[in-house]
Amino acid sequence: MKIMKYLTPTLLALTTLASCEDYANYIEDKDFVIENDARLFAVYPIAKAVPANGDTYKVAVTGSDDWSVKLVDSNSSADGWCTLDKNSGSGADSVTVTITQSTSFVKNRSVILEFTNGAKTLRHKVVQATLSLGDGEVMINGLIWSTKNVGAPGTFVDEIDEVGMLYQFNRKTGYGFKSAVPEFASAYSSYSPAESGWVTSAWTEANDPCPEGWRVPTGQEVVDLIGSTPADVNWVEPDAKNGFSRSGLIAGVDKAALGSVTKDNIKSLGGVFLPRSGWLTEGGALDRDWLVTLRTSTSLNDTMGGMWLGNTGYVDAWGWGDGQKNRATMVRCVKKISIED
């Protein structure tokens, strides 16, 4: 008994030492998982938090068995927001998971990757953060609008009351906002229309001057934003109180609140400012600069369409009267995203 009395602590110490040696990396390696024996069927990690703008990452699979994987229990109605590069494999491998940009401001999207080898089922959970509006973004009528016009192709201007550069329908070449732009004369005279008939999105992606992830809005989207009659137009003149550098119209703000809108607070009020601009026409001359004129992607016929123009006294909401495609005017973009809620 005395021998056992002294041997027992020794045996316990040896057992503990053997245990530590078996899992020597347990403490040092923060990613070590005891069950991640390469011989066993397992997946790692078991969960992933994905940012709102999306991500691509890998889920590792261990073991020697044939296995399959599928997506289950998605809480989102968006199609294809989570995709896998494969749905089956054999032995040690990995699955590449691609998550698109979130489509919700209030709901965390989630889905389960369900792995099985026939005898055992394992799960990996994806949870995605909700959207938040960027500094130059505002949501109106379920669309995310830029608060600024397009400057050079693929860029926005610095200020919300800048006109930016002027664009012909379905063209990506920008022209300066000046009283005379001689270099525009040849673009005007040589313009050849490519789209005819009522085509909602006739502005091709290759010719879209909006920054990546944005697009030229349709005619209906612009009408929904601003209106289709002079009575719909919320006009503002620049003064020391509101801080705007030029006159224009305000959209997205209730008429009762117009008197309190300033250049500094319009975004927080959920609105956008569209400066008066006019258009470049024959000979490179700036015309009708007392109107707000805005490009849309909706074609009417070979020569007309793709423009909203107006002020408090006159509105041509679709461009039937003065919306010639070869004229150049400002562009305001909407984000390429469909909001879930």
Per residue in 142-184, pLDDT (tens digit) is 999 999 999 999 999 999 999 999 999 999 999 999 999 999 9
Name the percent of the chain lying above pLDDT 70. 89
Interatomic CA distance for residues 327 and 273, integer angstroms? 22
Q: pLDDT digits over 275-319, tens only?
A: 999 999 999 999 999 999 999 999 999 999 899 999 999 999 999
Q: At 36, is the pLDDT very low, low, confident or very high (cuts 50, 70, 90)?
A: low
Buried b (16+ CB within 10 A) or exposed e, 129-146: eebeeeeebbebeebbbb
Q: pLDDT digits over 201-244, tens only?
A: 899 999 999 999 999 999 999 999 999 999 999 999 999 999 99
pTM over 0.85: no
Which of 81, 103, 128 lies at the terminal end of a domain, its last residue?
A: 128
Burial class (CB in 10 A: 0-12, 13-18, 19+), 166: buried
Is residue 173 within 8 Å of residue 326, measured between CB atoms?
Answer: no
* Domain assignment present for 35: no
Q: Are residues 248 and 166 in the same domain?
A: yes
Q: Are residues 168 and 213 in the same domain?
A: yes
Q: Are residues 100 and 229 in the same domain?
A: no
Q: Are residues 96 and 158 in the same domain?
A: no
* Domain assignment present for 13: no
* Domain assignment present for 328: yes
Is residue 190 within 8 Å of residue 178, measured between CB atoms?
Answer: no
Q: Structurally, how many domains does the chain consist of?
A: 2
* Domain assignment present for 22: no
What does the pLDDT read at residue 193?
A: 80
Q: Are residues 104 and 234 in the same domain?
A: no
Inform me whether the pLDDT recorded for 264 exceeds 80.
yes
- CA 44 vs. chain centroid, Å, equals 30
Interatomic CA distance for residues 68 and 86, integer angstroms? 9
Interatomic CA distance for residues 138 and 272, integer angstroms? 8
Q: Are residues 230 and 291 in the same domain?
A: yes
- Identify the CA nearest to 222 among candidates 170, 171, 274, 151: 274
Q: Are residues 202 and 311 in the same domain?
A: yes
Is residue 70 within 8 Å of residue 89, measured between CB atoms?
Answer: no
The sheet with strand 305-310 has its strands ordered as 292-299, 305-310, 315-316
Minimum mean pLDDT range among 3-17, 21-35, 91-105:
3-17
* Domain assignment present for 210: yes
Is residue 102 within 8 Å of residue 129, measured between CB atoms?
Answer: yes
Strands 137-140 and 315-316: unpaired
Q: At 31, is the pLDDT very low, low, confident or very high (cuts 50, 70, 90)?
A: low
Q: Which residue range(s) make up the domain with 88? A: 42-128
What does the pLDDT read at residue 8?
A: 43
Q: Are residues 163 and 248 in the same domain?
A: yes
Average pLDDT over every residue of 16-30: 43
Mean pLDDT of the chain: 90
Which of 128, 153, 170 lies at the terminal end of a domain, its last residue?
A: 128
Q: Are residues 102 and 248 in the same domain?
A: no
Q: Which residue has the tokens 């020697």?
A: 64
Q: For residue 10, give the H/E element and its range.
A: helix 2-22
Could you count the other beta carbons within 10 Å of the beta carbon of residue 112? Answer: 16
What does the pLDDT read at residue 29?
A: 53
Q: Which residue has the tokens 């590792």?
A: 60
- Identify the CA nearest to 103 among candidates 124, 82, 72, 120: 82
What does the pLDDT read at residue 272?
A: 98
Average pLDDT over every residue of 5-13: 40
- CA 154 vs. chain centroid, Å, equals 14
* Domain assignment present for 5: no
Q: Residue 26: helix, strand or coil by DSSP?
A: coil
Is residue 167 within 8 Å of residue 295, measured between CB atoms?
Answer: yes
Name the percent of the chain lying above pLDDT 90. 80
Q: Are residues 223 and 317 in the same domain?
A: yes
Which of 128, 152, 177 lies at the terminal end of a domain, its last residue?
A: 128
Q: pLDDT digits over 123-137, tens only?
A: 999 999 999 999 999
Q: Are residues 294 and 155 in the same domain?
A: yes
Q: At 25, is the pLDDT very low, low, confident or very high (cuts 50, 70, 90)?
A: very low
* Domain assignment present for 4: no
CATH number of the domain residue 75 falls in: 2.60.40.10
Q: Are residues 170 and 318 in the same domain?
A: yes
| Tokens representing residue 224 in the block | 């929904």
Strands 88-90 and 66-72: antiparallel
Minimum mean pLDDT range among 33-47, 111-125, 156-170:
33-47
Minimum mean pLDDT range among 1-15, 52-66, 118-132, 310-324:
1-15
| Tokens representing residue 41 in the block | 């069927």
Average pLDDT over every residue of 249-274: 95
Is residue 139 within 8 Å of residue 133, measured between CB atoms?
Answer: yes
